[in-house]
A = this chain, B = another copy of it.
């Protein structure tokens, strides 16, 4: 994986992450892809990094702390990835957000990124800090969709619906499709959901002529 591939393209993310931290988070991602959460250790992350365990412990006290930081990075990544949709026309913006979250074609990097997220999500009942981050991710996605819907209502593109409810629906559908895709062999399902989401947006949001 080179530095410009998902989910580790950090160019557009603000300067709150030092180079050292970014390097460790990239190594963490690679170690998660290779070994999975159960077998992950600071030692394996240090191996991926090509440095000593001490150089990881210099930044993070534990594997858990490192993974919380990894999830904070993912939150920032979602924010920067979806930020530009705030200026597109509302109908285009909504389509683009859905395409980014459930692309018709999922490359290997994104596939692995979603598998890593699913593994960390599965630990939320045992780890409150992980749970906080997944709450934040879902709140973020619902907020982005809700803002687009509200903007569409204000500009007259969309009907006067309850934006929060429609946003919850779209994000639940998107999350279900994302998780189905990486955990089953139902290859055609994401495309079917994309078509049905377009139809949902049409019938729920578009103004009748």
Residues of A that sit less than 8 Å from B by CB: 36-38, 115, 118-119, 121-126, 131-132, 134-135, 138-139, 142, 164-166, 168-169, 171-177, 179-180, 182-186, 189, 192-193, 195-197, 199-200, 203-204
Closest to A37 in B: B38
| 8 A-B pairs closest in CB distance | A176-B176, A172-B176, A169-B196, A175-B176, A122-B122, A38-B38, A168-B192, A135-B184
Contact B197 A168 (CB under 8 A): no
**Given the complex of chains A and B, what is the CA–CA distance between A50 and B135 in angstroms?**
38
**Residues on the B chain within 8 Å of A119, using CB:** 122-123
Of the residues B126, B131, B173, B204, contact of A173 by C-beta under 8 Å: B173
Of the residues B121, B166, B186, contact of A122 by C-beta under 8 Å: B121
**Given the complex of chains A and B, what is the CA–CA distance between A37 and B36 in angstroms?**
12
Contact B203 A121 (CB under 8 A): no
Contact A175 B180 (CB under 8 A): yes
Closest beta carbon of chain B to A15's beta carbon, Å: 29
**Residues on the B chain within 8 Å of A195, using CB:** 165
**Given the complex of chains A and B, what is the CA–CA distance between A135 and B181 in angstroms?**
10
Contact B184 A131 (CB under 8 A): yes
**Given the complex of chains A and B, what is the CA–CA distance between A179 and B134 in angstroms?**
11
**Residues on the B chain within 8 Å of A184, using CB:** 124, 131, 134-135, 138
Of the residues B142, B176, B200, contact of A179 by C-beta under 8 Å: B176
